[in-house]
Amino acid sequence: QITLKESGPTLVKPTQTLTLTCTFSGFSLSTSGVGVGWIRQPPGKALEWLALIYWDDDKRYSPSLKSRLTITKDTSKNQVVLTMTNMDPVDTATYYCAHRRVAAAGYYFDYWGQGTLVTVSS
């Protein structure tokens, strides 16, 4: 059974760096083909893909946020960490981590964490 859970601060100040941790179980990020992604959702708005890390440590980032994002993994702890620099109030959102599954062409997210709401305010 695959589960994921996000953790991190609920409130950050503008210009600060956000660090979120995704702790998962039921799979290993050292297994070929496995990936974990981060997706966010501002209140009342649409989902936005942020980043993805693969079992082989390959990383992909949203082009619009690439300069601010870093995704890393700790295979021994079954964790994926996302950092986002220079936080702004527009970054207020619920942040989700999700397990990536390969499709015939592309990929999708078959298991999601419950999400964690991050508010950016002074």
| Residue 23 found at the interface with other proteins (CB under 8 A) | no
Using the minimum distance from each CB to other proteins, give the nearer residue, 15 or 25. 25
User: Which of 18-26, 69-77, 79-87, 98-106 is the region at the interface with other proteins (rule: CB under 8 A)?
Assistant: 98-106
Write the DSSP assignment of 71-95 as a string of letters: EEEEGGGTEEEEEE-S--GGG-EEE
Count of residues for the chain?
122
CA atoms within 13 A on the CB side of 57: 4
CA 68 to chain centre: 13
Using the minimum distance from each CB to other proteins, give the nearer residue, 32 or 44. 44
Q: Contact residues for other proteins (CB under 8 A)?
A: 37, 39, 45-49, 52, 60, 62-63, 96, 101, 103-110, 112-115
